[in-house]
């Protein structure tokens, strides 16, 4: 059984993420400070809302430096993934800096609404254990107005008025811009892969 530290970042999706992990057999501990990270074999940073609020909460909980120094696999979900990057345009805030790049606002256009809300396809860009067993062009559920750019750490992209990073992985740091806990079999498979596979 995998011991997962689930960080209480104040998001409304916390309960559904916990339930999704427990259905996969994980033993989940809600974490509100650095001491809660001890003994975990996996750490998940979920989140909804704004980057400045998310980072302020992590600072208040004393979790910023411990997350930067973490020696076990870390998965960011939705806002949690955005906080793994160096900077966010949202509030012009410095983030955790575990992945290179700046998170930028999605641009509305004809037929393109922001926030990006609903089901959209994942477009695989490279092999990664996180995507093992996920069907080509599988769909996932998104709710967001900001997104990270494509770079060498992008595992899968999504197209909403232009391509953005939907799944990222750099060593033991990974992220999903969508909500795996709301993405049916696709999301469950990605969570299982995170729990069971060692990062390359």
**Catalytic residue ranges:** 78, 179, 181
DSSP state of 33: S
d(CA 2, CA 137) in angstroms, rounded, equals: 29
Answer yes or no: are the C-beta atoms of 140 and 185 closer than 8 Å. no
Q: Which residues contact 185 (CB under 8 A, 6 or more apart)?
A: none
d(CA 137, CA 21) in angstroms, rounded, equals: 24
Start-to-end Cα distance in the chain = 21
d(CA 142, CA 118) in angstroms, rounded, equals: 5
d(CA 32, CA 80) in angstroms, rounded, equals: 15
Least Cα distance to 6 among 191, 196, 198, 193 occurs for: 191
Q: Which residues contact 17 (CB under 8 A, 6 or more apart)?
A: 6, 44, 46, 77, 181
Q: Which residues contact 18 (CB under 8 A, 6 or more apart)?
A: 6, 28, 30
């Amino acid at each position: 059984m995998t011991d997962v530290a689930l960080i209480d970042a104040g998001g409304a999706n916390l309960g559904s993420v916990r339930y999704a992990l427990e259905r996969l057999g994980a033993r989940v501990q809600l974490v509100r400070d650095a001491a809660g990270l001890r003994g975990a074999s996996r750490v998940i940073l979920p989140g909804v809302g704004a980057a400045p609020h998310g980072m302020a909460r992590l600072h208040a909980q004393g979790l910023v430096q411990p997350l930067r120094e973490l020696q076990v696999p870390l998965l960011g979900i939705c806002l949690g993934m955005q906080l793994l990057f160096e900077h966010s345009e949202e509030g012009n805030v410095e983030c955790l800096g575990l992945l290179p790049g700046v998170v930028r606002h999605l641009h509305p256009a004809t037929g393109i609404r922001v926030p990006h809300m609903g089901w959209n396809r994942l477009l695989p860009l490279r092999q990664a254990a996180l995507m093992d067993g996920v069907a080509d062009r599988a769909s996932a559920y998104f709710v967001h107005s900001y997104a990270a750019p494509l770079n060498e750490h992008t595992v899968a992209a999504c197209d909403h008025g232009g391509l953005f990073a939907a799944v990222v992985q750099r060593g033991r740091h990974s992220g999903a811009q969508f909500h795996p806990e709301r993405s049916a079999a696709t999301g469950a498979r990605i969570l299982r892969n995170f729990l069971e596979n060692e990062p390359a």
